[in-house]
Amino acid sequence: MMTAWLLIAQDNPAPVQQQGGPPPWSSMVIFLPILILFFVMIILPGRKQRQEQEKMMSSLSRNDKVLTSFGLIGWIISVNSDQTVTLKTDNHGSDGAKIHMKKEAIIKVLDSGENVKQS
């Protein structure tokens, strides 16, 4: 009876410690493979594609036939130092339009005989 009164009289009873259970770091072990998988499937391919795009942009030269991101096919007239190029849309005469655009808008260098497939 005396112990019951002592327990009731205590303001802050001692916390009960749980025995066993997983260690706190075990939840991090689950997320580590997920982070590695994310890096391999998302980050690395994007990095590789960006490097290939930069290599292609640095190798652009006059008379290259290119495809732009908005579907325009043209020939490079000049490569400017401010990351722009000048395209001509008709290579067989002086009727073609001349267009100034950023190098980033060029997505592919086409071979002279290569055409874009139409769906």
Domain contains 34: no
Amino acid code (one letter) for 38: F
Q: How far is CA 65 from the centre of its chain?
A: 26
> Domain residues for 77?
60-110
Beta-carbon contacts of 112 under 8 Å, excluding residues fewer than 6 positions away, are: 65
What is the predicted pLDDT for the residue at 102? 92
CATH of residue 68's domain is 2.30.30
Answer yes or no: are the C-beta atoms of 88 and 75 closer than 8 Å: yes
Domain contains 100: yes
Answer yes or no: are the C-beta atoms of 116 and 69 closer than 8 Å: no
Other CB atoms within 10 Å distance of the CB of residue 89: 13
What is the predicted pLDDT for the residue at 51? 92
What is the predicted pLDDT for the residue at 119? 39
Give the residue from 111, 95, 60, 97 showing the smallest Cα distance to 81. Answer: 60
Domain count, the chain: 1
Average pLDDT over residues 30-42: 89
Domain contains 105: yes
Going 48 to 76 to 114 to 118, the CA torsion angle's sign is: positive
What is the predicted pLDDT for the residue at 81? 81
Domain contains 92: yes
- The three state secondary structure string of 67-99 is EECCCCEEEEEEECCCCEEEEECCCCCCCCCEE
Residue 22 has pLDDT above 60, yes or no: yes
Domain contains 85: yes
Amino acid code (one letter) for 65: K
In sequence order, what are the beta bridge partners of 91? none
